[in-house]
Amino acid sequence: MQKGNETQVVEFIIFGFSDYPNLQILLFIVFLCIYLVTLMGNLTILTLMCVDSRLHTPMYFFLFNLAILDLCLSSCTLPKMLSIFLMDNKRISFVGCMTQLYLLMSFTGVESYLLTAMAYDRYVAICNPLRYSVIMNKRVINHLFCDFHTILKLSCSDISAIKLLMNTLDVCLALLSLVLILTSYIHIFYSILKMQSTKGRYKAFSTCSSHLIILTVYFAAVLFVYVKPMSKSISSVDKLLDAFYSTVIPMLNPIIYSLRNKDIKAALKKGLQGKLGD
C-alpha cells in the first residue's frame, strides 16, 4: 500500500498582537507587571503560611494550594507571551505547544475543583462549626498562548465532532463544580439567615466574601472563554479575554484574599515588623 501525502507539524507561529507593532513594548511592560505582582503576591502568601503557625488551618491549606496553582497557571503562559512582545519570538515547537496546552488545561481544571473544595470548607465552618475540627483535619484531604480552541482552527479536516466533545466536557466540568458550590452556599446562606445576631451574620458572611468574589470572576471568565460558540476569526478583544483567566486572575487572588483577611494582614504586619526590627 502506498502512503498518502502526510504533513507533519513541527512548530506553530503564535500571532499575538502583530497588528499593533507599536504597542509591543507597552504590552510587554503591562504583562511583565502583572506577572511580577502575581509572583510577589502568591509567594508572599506561601511564605506567610509557612512561617506563621496561626495560618496552619484547613482554610489556609486550601489557600496555600490556590497560591501554588496561580503561580503554575501564570508561569505556563506568561513567559512565552513576554518573549513574543519583547523579542518577537513567535515560534513554538509542536512539543512545546502541546506541553503548554496540557499544563494550561490541567491547572484550570484543578483550580475549579479546588475552589469547589473551598466552598465546602466554608459550608462546614458556618453550618457545622462544632464538627469543623473533626471533618476538616489533617487526616482528611478534602491566544497569546497554545489554547485548545485556537489550535483546532488550524485543522484542515472536519473537527465538528471534536468541538462538540470539548464543549460538552467544558460544560460538564463547569456545571459539576457550580452545582457543588451552589449546594454549599445555599446551606451557608440558609444558616446565616437563621442567625439572630446581626454581628454574627456579618462575621459569617465576611468569611465567605473573598471566596465569592474569586468564584464569580473565575467562573465568569472560564465560562465566557470555553463555553462561548467558536467563531471563524479571533479578534484582539477575544485574545485579551482568553488571557484574562490565566494571567490576571492569578494576580487578583492573593490581593483579594490578603486585603479582606485579618489573619493574613496580621501575619504580614508581624513579618514586616520583624524585618524592620532586625
The structural domains of the chain, ordered by start, are 18-277 (1.20.1070.10)
Taking the C-alpha atoms of residue 152 and residue 162, their distance in angstroms, rounded to an integer, is 9
Cβ atoms of 61 and 138 within 8 Å: the answer is: no
Residues 19 and 236 sit within 8 Å (Cβ to Cβ):
yes
Helix, strand, coil share of the chain (percent; to 5)? 75, 0, 20
Q: Check the CA dihedral 264-265-269-272 and report its sign.
A: positive
Give per-residue burial for 32-52: e unless 16+ CB within 10 Å, then b.
eebbebbbebbebbbebbeeb
Query: What is the tally of helices (H) and strands (E) in the chain?
Result: 11, 2
State residue 252's pLDDT score: 76
Determine the average pLDDT of the residues in 191-212. 78
| CB distance 215 to 119 below 8 Å | yes
d(CA 28, CA 238): 18
Q: 106 versus 58: which is more confidently predicted?
A: 106
Q: Which residues pair with 152 in a beta bridge?
A: none
Q: Spell out a b/e string for 224-256, using b for 16 or more CB atoms within 10 Å of the CB, else e.
A: ebbeeeeeeebeeebbeebbbbbbbbbbbbbeb
| pLDDT for 2 | 47
**pLDDT confidence of residue 140:** 40
C-alpha cell at 199: 454581628
Collapsing DSSP to helix, strand or coil, 157 comes out as coil
* Distance (Å, whole) CA 33 – CA 240: 16
Distance CA 139, CA 98 (A): 36
pLDDT tens-digit readout, 93-137: 888 888 888 888 888 878 877 888 778 777 777 777 767 666 665
Q: Which pLDDT tens digit goes with each residue over 60-102?
A: 788 888 888 888 888 888 888 888 888 877 787 888 888 888 8
